[in-house]
Structure 1
């Protein structure tokens, strides 16, 4: 039986529901779907070990659950304030019969980036998949309204952090390993109200294209996912109440995507079945044209 994707999940208008960054999953209305009850694995990542930054909520949580159900042991990094959400993800990983590792910290610190890689390898004896997913955003109304510290924080989280993690992971990645970056449709359609965020996502997409060529000779694949409007804690914590109420209505599907709807893209890119896929930027955006 097929399901009409336009009406599979809730459509706007949504409640305003303001939150402080990075937001809490259980305070969202409606609560996001991460595939907790719907994602079914088929052993595509059996025996592998994955590290996912920002794995406590949103897209990262959905990827962690999917990877566990595909047979991978999963380590997730997250901000210390997100411990409760991280423990929830750990329980889902354990329920799938896989091992989990919770690594609180801030990826803007290169020492922490190195530590989380080393702890993952120490726990699992290997590292096969790195998902650079953690991010920060803060909307702006004008250039003068962007604080220098916020601009720098956005780049340190969204670009420097993935660089630190990938660099630290490289000595442990064997031929066949996969590195995946969460970029955004904003990398190709930058928003004037998200100047810093859009710029960082443009940098990440270019990083995918550069690294995929640089690491090709090592047999390491590098790809990116470009989500459109996705219903995660980022939305009520990083957008105005009016923007939250209408979130997702601008794409042809007329609604935001759910984190669960992106998991299959990350599984596909990590799987050995995609052995010839590197340097790809996969758009998941409800029919939004991204050229």
Structure 2
């Protein structure tokens, strides 16, 4: 979504949308008539500004999930840690889950503050080559509730993309809210003048077809699907047992049906949650665990995908 008026309703489709002024959420809005007539459909100047800001970012990866509680933010954090384990790469993690920012806790950064510089907001660094930005850094307490309507949330996302001083990055990982909300439309719209490599979709053994349809509708490439909590690994004996049996064939059948790559199945290991609560990298804490090995294989597949995208782009220029 782009160019949302300050007094717009919560689910405003945005003035640049084909549905502007025509949806049920537009009823009663003072801008409805102007939006429906097309008089407000001017391109948001922030899109070009964001494109210029992101010109120094080589790869942009969105992490999506159909619902909350499936380990999306945990995966985003581990993806960032794994990519940053290569000291020659500059990595950043952007948390745009405005109403439920968990990245500061998972990355061990609770209580950190964002600082303003001449070139914009400075992100918070976990390592010299791993930067993080989240609305959690702007709250006075982790317990503060963010109760915002759509336009204000979208304005914050725009500010994160346009005003944060990311510098030169090899990878920018964007941890999005669960579901398919206004924020997802905003992210895709605001990044339309940049090069988005694609989306990684996180699911449990139940499938997430709505999220996949969203990506297809907005022409967002899908890097692949990760099935999270795929069986339980006993930390002592290393045996795996199925505790969330798939109701419709799971992610594997869904990927076969929709011709999508299944990047991997991450087993449920209680040490993952413990590492997140302590703000540590599970990959560093328990590198020999079955889950860590699956994570690293998934990360390698994502890196290969991004490298192939660069090669394809170069061959077409």
TM-score range, shorter chain: 0.3 to 0.5
For the pair shown, the structure with the greater C-alpha radius of gyration is: 2
TM-score (norm 1): 0.43
TM-score (norm 2): 0.40
Q: Which has the higher contact order (CA 8 A, sep 6+)?
A: 1
Higher share in strand = 2
